[in-house]
Amino acid sequence: MKRTIILSLSLLVVVGLLASSASAREPKKPVSKNPQAQALIDQAWAAQDQNMTIKEIDQSINFLEQALALDPNNDQILVELADEYYQRGDQMPRGSDANFAARNKWFVKGYAYAEKAMKIKESAGAHYWMAANLAAQNENASVVSQAKMFPELKRHMDWIETHDINYKYGAGARFWSRVISRVPGVVVKMVGEDPNRIYGLLQKAIKTAPNFIDNYVYQAEFLHNQGKDQEALDALDKALKMNPEAMPEERAYNRYAQKKARAYWKEWTGKDYPNR
């Protein structure tokens, strides 16, 4: 029975991690001492200033690969590439073995870049994108394979919480919030997580980065899972009333978060926002 529970948990953790990893670009732009490489990094960064579709991601990857060729041991460029390769694969179609195989080519590259970055310098970004790309590679794998990767996922997320808890405006809090929202309470306790503690981390993330909209969307999902439907809708309402431009460096992702908020509103109420 215990083995079955753990296997079920690992499957749900994968889904949760994938959803929590959608944010494009790292919070801080990579820095290179090579002027030519830095100019290319600047172009990669600018490519996703407004939107984060495959077109913009491909542009960013192209510029970053050129920058890496000029500055091959720059861990910041490697982490950014690990991020972008994840984003590129994640926006491709699911639904068939062929689709998953096509997606995985990007995730394999993303994991390799994150792993290389980790060997140069241990960082929250390297840990996070090793976890995200590993999980994504196993999305269509057997439950046994997914269970085997769970310890590595937890190890990466534990490191982030210990050393850089504010990474990506609370990425670790969003990760565990999604897990708690999707798995039975007995399983959450079995792996040593406390929903109240995680919700507290999510609230701290909101206070730390009040204009990062996705944290409010995760708050809404958490509250909805706890049966607090009106509070959940209030959180979505707040997210949808926010100005994505209030955090210019994340305006593209803020728009993406509001798109998710509208979808949740429709799913939970059966009505278009703002009708309840």
The single-letter DSSP state of residue 226 is T
Cα–Cα distance, 261 to 87 (Å, whole number): 20
Q: Is 93 buried (19+), middle (13-18) or exposed (0-12) by CB count in 10 A?
A: exposed
The per-residue pLDDT for 175 is 80
Residue 192 three-state SS: coil
The per-residue pLDDT for 243 is 98
Element (H, E) at 251: helix 251-269
Q: What is the mean pLDDT of each run of 10 residues along the chain (276 residues)?
A: 48 49 74 98 92 91 99 98 93 87 94 98 96 82 70 88 92 81 58 79 94 96 93 98 95 91 97 95
The per-residue pLDDT for 17 is 52
The per-residue pLDDT for 146 is 66
Cα–Cα distance, 243 to 76 (Å, whole number): 29
The per-residue pLDDT for 194 is 77
The per-residue pLDDT for 7 is 46
The per-residue pLDDT for 184 is 55
DSSP string, 30-69: ---SSHHHHHHHHHHHHHTSS--SHHHHHHHHHHHHHHHH
Full set of structural domains in the chain with CATH: 2-193 (1.25.40), 210-276 (no CATH)
